[in-house]
Amino acid sequence: MIFKIIKNDFKRKKIVTAAVFVFITMAVILGASATNIISNLIQSMSELKAHAVPADIAQMHAGKFDQSGIDKFTQDQSEHIALQETMVLLSIDGRDIHFGNNQTMVGTVQDISFVVQNRKFDFILDLNNEKLDIRKGELAVPIYFMEVYNLKLGDTITLDSKGYRKEFIISEYARDYEMNAPLTSSKRFVVNQSDYDEMIEKQTGELEYLIEFRLKENGDSQVVQTAYIDAGLPANGPTVGGELFLLFNALSDAAIAMIIILISFLLVIIASLCIQLTFLATIDEDLKEIGVMKAMGISRKDIKKVYLNKYRIMSAAAGIIGYLLSFIVVNLFNGNMRLYISSELSGNLKYVLSLIAPVVVYLMIVLYCQKVLRKVDKISAVEALRSDIMERGKKRKYSFPLLSNRLFTINIYMGLRDVWKRFKLYRLLIFIFIACTFIVILPLNIYNTMNSPEFSTYMGIGKCDMRIDLRKTDTITADFARLQEDLENDPDIEKYAAYITCSYQVKNAEGSWDYILIETGDFSVFPLEYLEGRAPERAREISISFANASTDGLNKKVGDDVVVRASGIDKTFKVCGIYQDITNGGKTAKADASLGLNEESVLWYIVNINTTPGVDIRNKMEYFQNAYHSAQVNDIKEYTQQTLGNMIDQLGVIAIGGIAIALIIVVLITSLFLKMLLSKDGSQIAIMRSMGLTTQNIKNQYTAGTLSVLVLGIILGVVASDFLGEIMVSAAMSSMGAARIQFVNIAWQTWLLCPLALIAVVGITISLSCKVAVEEDLSVVLRS
């Protein structure tokens, strides 16, 4: 009997049932995909880490090097240090690496080096997370370059340096835990030992040393680092700790994953809104039916059973289907992760964690049903038979009488006032439109922001036309002097400023010494936007990056003192400002030139340049690139492009994906919403038609209503993604060093293109799905 009733109910409400089913399935698919991504990220990150065995402390060094001192240090610190290995990097100029049709890697912001696989730890892996084992004549290319230069396995890479020429066949992708991320500005190519020896012999490139330590389980990283400095061991390059690798590695993935999860989360919200919508749309009918059943003498308990079972069956089926489908759908989202972190993503954590989604959705629905049924309990059979229970008891004052309308045609007015009268129903649609707009606008805003020259603000760089990077070479000091002279005499240069970054020691919150990168120079030429305070202007002033100012950095505020040790002398500086910087792990500082250089550890020279108006920047860049071989010449946009390159590209994909997802959802939900609304309103529509309204008239009413809801949703959505989005992105980015992101809004996109696209799509959807059934005899609905 009960089964028969359920079957009948399914049959009677085919469309609505299908809609509910689709919504529940969608909720499960997206929820499961989201949990799938999270569990994949957790599991494959730790798996990658387990295979790669990264260093806990890594110290870069260029110049004189003696391993025996380090061996002794390792011995002395055996309480903390488990393993030590020094990787000798053969750093190669990008212009010397040729590929494809006469292309070179000139202009990359990445430092390129050729290495052989370590023996003890810090392994570079292939796409199966196996240790790379490269044969003679072959090499493994970092995934970053494979993507940026679109290289394929089997392509040829030619090294052509100072008359020495060597060809390599690309045999593998190199997945490099320590240097995967574009933000890590070094990339390692892996070659065979014999090729490497040959290159060393022929003196291609400069040697750099990556002195790596792996700590014991309870080894103290801070102690080892301090001891290392105190021992005066080679250290004229940046020091990188274990967490920073994790951060860098997960950075672009985590940022992307966060956006995807955010989208998935929004989709889950949308899906649950849909379920609620369905309930609202069918409740009148359901209540009527419950009344009939009560009148038939079926007990309350049985009625409850009928309803609960109906939705139980539905959500269980949807849960299973959605759960299974999520494993296909998730592939849309995790391409980057599969490339950079794990090709297999084979962990079984995801199978378990993804189960959360169907279970939660199932419980949500059953609980909601119970809530509804509790309400039903209070309604007597007779009352339930009399429809319009939802309208009962509301003695609101009559609003929007027809005659007060002066602006619209009667049908448009009817549509608009319907939205007002049944706001509870349309409200859900508004939320859905807001969420969809959010999904479209947020990635777009982030994409535009990262793609804009303004983004340099978050990289600690003042806005300028061009930037020349001089990296550590034997001739760096001479080159730097020559460059400055050049710039002074060049009429094409409007203004320039030179900055020198050295590594210093700084007294941290605990009173011990840490390394800190400090840039010195004149910061008034290319002003940077400060979070707080201002740039250093006077002697003994220092400004620090947001990450440095924070509690897990130096924990300083504007006005606090900072003690810096330069060339063995301690100097006290006053913090005059805090700025945002996501480069170099977010921990940088800028000081007045009075700090003096730490000759031992000059890391790089940077010159920011503005050309005089009318000068072709491209030409000028080319000129400097040719004049200074060791230099990297970029415009700021290019600089951000390369550093954040694949993140920006992926964001582009996500932005487009977001638009696609949002459009699909909007189309699906709008059409389902209208289907439900029209079937719910069947009798009202029939009444209007019997009065002589054409189907077009009625269609106009619903179109006006839904479109007004759409416009409202879009406006709210755009505003929300601008303000809320900024807050959310800033919160997410603050761990990276940018605490106050301001979106660069490309107005025609956010305010015109996207809304118009949404309106157009929804408009078409409405006009297609707002089909008032005409074939049907009118009387079927009207007579009882």
Ligand X SMILES: Nc1ncnc2c1ncn2[C@@H]1O[C@H](COP(=O)(O)OP(=O)(O)O)[C@@H](O)[C@H]1O
Residue 695 or 730: the one with the smaller Cβ distance to another protein is: 695
Using CB under 8 A, which of the segments 24-32, 488-496, 681-689, 758-766 binds another protein? 681-689
Sketch the per residue contact string, 725 through 764, with ligand X: x for CB under 6 A, - otherwise: ----------------------------------------
Residue 510 or 777: the one with the smaller Cβ distance to ligand X is: 777
CB of 281 to another protein, least distance (A): 15
Residue 64 or 395: the one with the smaller Cβ distance to another protein is: 395
The residues, ordered by sequence, that sit 6+ positions from 168 with a Cβ below 8 Å of its Cβ are 137, 138, 139, 156, 157, 158, 159, 191, 195
How many Å is the Cα radius of gyration of the chain? 33
CB of 782 to ligand X, least distance (A): 11
Q: Is 782 in the site for ligand X (CB under 6 A)?
A: no
CB of 751 to another protein, least distance (A): 34
CB of 422 to another protein, least distance (A): 8
Residue 659 or 685: the one with the smaller Cβ distance to ligand X is: 685
Work out which of 50, 407, 747, 774 binds another protein, going by CB under 8 A. 774
Work out what residue 391 binds among ligand X, another protein, none; the CB cut-off runs from 5 to 8 Å by kind. another protein
CB of 296 to ligand X, least distance (A): 21
CB 70 within 8 A of CB 224: no
628: left (phi over 0), alpha (psi -120 to 50) or beta: beta
Residue 488 or 777: the one with the smaller Cβ distance to ligand X is: 777
Residue 133 or 776: the one with the smaller Cβ distance to ligand X is: 776
Work out what residue 768 binds among ligand X, another protein, none; the CB cut-off runs from 5 to 8 Å by kind. none
Work out what residue 687 binds among ligand X, another protein, none; the CB cut-off runs from 5 to 8 Å by kind. another protein
Residue found under tokens 């805003």: 445
CB of 683 to another protein, least distance (A): 8
CB of 780 to ligand X, least distance (A): 5
Classify strands 164-176 and 156-161 as parallel, antiparallel or unpaired.
antiparallel
Work out what residue 398 binds among another protein, ligand X, none; the CB cut-off runs from 5 to 8 Å by kind. another protein
Work out which of 367, 696, 760, 767 binds another protein, going by CB under 8 A. 696
Residue 724 or 780: the one with the smaller Cβ distance to ligand X is: 780
H/E run at residue 99 = strand 97-99
CA 589 to chain centroid:
26
The sign of the CA dihedral 146, 147, 151, 153 is positive
What tokens appear for 296 in the block? 């038939």
Work out what residue 599 binds among ligand X, another protein, none; the CB cut-off runs from 5 to 8 Å by kind. none
Q: Is 689 in the site for another protein (CB under 8 A)?
A: yes
Q: Of 705, 725, 718, which Cα lies nearest the Cα of 427?
A: 705
- Taking each helix axis from N to C end, the angle separating 695-733 and 754-769, rounded to the nearest 10 degrees, works out to 140
- The Cα-based distances of 767 to 701, 707, 772 in angstroms read 11, 11, 10
DSSP letters along 495-556, please? EEEEEEEEEEEEE-TTSSEEEEEEEEE-TTSS----SEE----STTEEEEEHHHHSTTTT--
User: Looking only at residues 455 through 474 of this chain, which bind ligand X when binding is defined by CB under 6 A?
Assistant: none
Burial of 712 (0-12, 13-18, 19+ CB in 10 A): middle
Work out what residue 724 binds among another protein, ligand X, none; the CB cut-off runs from 5 to 8 Å by kind. none
CB of 391 to another protein, least distance (A): 6
User: Looking only at residues 387 through 426 of this chain, which bind another protein when binding is defined by CB under 8 A?
Assistant: 388, 391-392, 395, 398, 401-403, 409-411, 417-418, 421-422
CB of 775 to another protein, least distance (A): 8
Sketch the per residue contact string, 588 through 627, with ligand X: x for CB under 6 A, - otherwise: ----------------------------------------
CB 512 within 8 A of CB 536: no
Work out which of 8, 612, 694, 767 binds another protein, going by CB under 8 A. 694
Q: Tell me, what amino acid is at 558? A: V
What tokens appear for 117 in the block? 């696989």
CB of 776 to ligand X, least distance (A): 9
Q: Is 688 in the site for another protein (CB under 8 A)?
A: yes
Per-position b or e across 638-653, b if 16+ CB within 10 A of its CB: bbbbbbbbbbbbbbeb
Work out which of 18, 593, 731, 780 binds ligand X, going by CB under 6 A. 780
CB of 658 to another protein, least distance (A): 37
Work out what residue 50 binds among another protein, ligand X, none; the CB cut-off runs from 5 to 8 Å by kind. none
Polymer length in residues for the chain: 784
Cα 326 to Cα 56: distance, rounded to the nearest angstrom = 37
CB 235 within 8 A of CB 630: no
Give the ranges where 341-392 is alpha helix by DSSP (H).
349-353, 356-377, 381-385
Residue 715 or 781: the one with the smaller Cβ distance to ligand X is: 781
- Can you list the positions of beta strands (E) in 143-182? 156-161, 164-176
Using CB under 8 A, which of the segments 130-138, 336-344, 385-393, 508-516 binds another protein? 385-393
CB of 295 to ligand X, least distance (A): 21
End-to-end CA distance of the chain: 26
Residue 217 or 777: the one with the smaller Cβ distance to ligand X is: 777
Residue 555 or 684: the one with the smaller Cβ distance to another protein is: 684
Residue 363 or 780: the one with the smaller Cβ distance to ligand X is: 780
CB of 9 to ligand X, least distance (A): 21
Work out what residue 479 binds among another protein, ligand X, none; the CB cut-off runs from 5 to 8 Å by kind. none
Work out which of 222, 309, 695, 730 binds another protein, going by CB under 8 A. 695
CB of 417 to another protein, least distance (A): 7
Residue 397 or 783: the one with the smaller Cβ distance to ligand X is: 783
Residue 423 or 723: the one with the smaller Cβ distance to another protein is: 423
Cα 183 to Cα 697: distance, rounded to the nearest angstrom = 59
CB 236 within 8 A of CB 473: no
CB 366 within 8 A of CB 307: no
Work out what residue 407 binds among ligand X, another protein, none; the CB cut-off runs from 5 to 8 Å by kind. none
SS3 assignment for 266-318? HHHHHHHHHHHHHHHHHHHHHHHHHHHHHHCCCCHHHHHHHHHHHHHHHHHHH
| Residue number of the CB atom closest to ligand X | 780
Q: Of 489, 496, 499, which Cα lies nearest the Cα of 525?
A: 496
CB of 704 to another protein, least distance (A): 14
The count of chain residues that interact with ligand X, using the rule CB under 6 A, is 2
Q: Of 35, 759, 7, 693, which Cα lies nearest the Cα of 355?
A: 35
What tokens appear for 485 in the block? 């002279």
CB 315 within 8 A of CB 369: no
The count of chain residues that interact with another protein, using the rule CB under 8 A, is 36
CB 319 within 8 A of CB 325: no
CB of 396 to ligand X, least distance (A): 37
Residue 50 or 691: the one with the smaller Cβ distance to another protein is: 691
CB of 298 to ligand X, least distance (A): 26
Would you tell me which residues interact with another protein (CB under 8 A)? Answer: 388, 391-392, 395, 398, 401-403, 409-411, 417-418, 421-422, 683-684, 686-697, 774, 777-779, 782-784
Binding site for ligand X (CB under 6 A): 777, 780
